[in-house]
Copies of this chain bind each other. A is one copy, B any other.
Amino acid sequence: MSFNYINALLKKPTTRTPIWIMRQAGRYLPEYCTTRKQAGDFLSLCKNPELACEVTMQPIDRFDLDAAILFSDILTIPDAMGLGLYFSQGEGPRFKHPIQNLQDIEKLPNNLNNELGYVFDSVATIKKALNNRLPLIGFSGSPWTLATYMIEGGNSKTFSNAKKMLFNEPKMLHLLLDKLADSVIAYLSQQILSGANSVMIFDTWGGVLSKQNYLDFSLDYMSKIVKGVKAKHSNTPITLFSKNGGKHLNYIADTTCDCVGIDWTLELADAQQQVGNRVAIQGNLDPAILYASPAVIEIEVKKILSQFQGNTGHVFNLGHGIAPDVEPDNVKVLVDSVHNFSKDYR
Contact = CB atoms under 8 A, between A and B. Distances in A.
Contacts of A168: 291-293, 296
A293 B163 CA distance: 12
A167 B298 CA distance: 12
A247 interface: yes
Contacts of A167: 288-289, 291-293, 296, 300
Interface size class of A (residues with CB under 8 A): 20 to 34
Interface string A218-252: 00000000000000000000000000101100000
A207 interface: yes
A22 interface: no
A111 interface: no
Contacts of A286: 163, 210, 213
Contacts of A264: 210
Interface of A is mostly: helix
Given A168-B296, A210-B286, A246-B247, A160 B291 contact: yes
B164 A292 contact: yes
A266 interface: yes
A319 B247 CA distance: 17
A287 interface: yes
Interface in A276-294: 286-289, 291-293
Interface in A193-231: 207-211, 213-214
Contacts of A103: none
* A-B interface, 4 closest residue pairs, ranked by CB to CB distance from nearest: A163-B288, A167-B292, A164-B291, A210-B264
10 contacts: A163-B286, A163-B289, A163-B291, A166-B288, A167-B288, A168-B291, A209-B265, A211-B266, A211-B267, A247-B247
Interface of A: 158-160, 163-164, 166-168, 207-211, 213-214, 244, 246-247, 264-267, 270, 286-289, 291-293, 296, 300, 323, 325
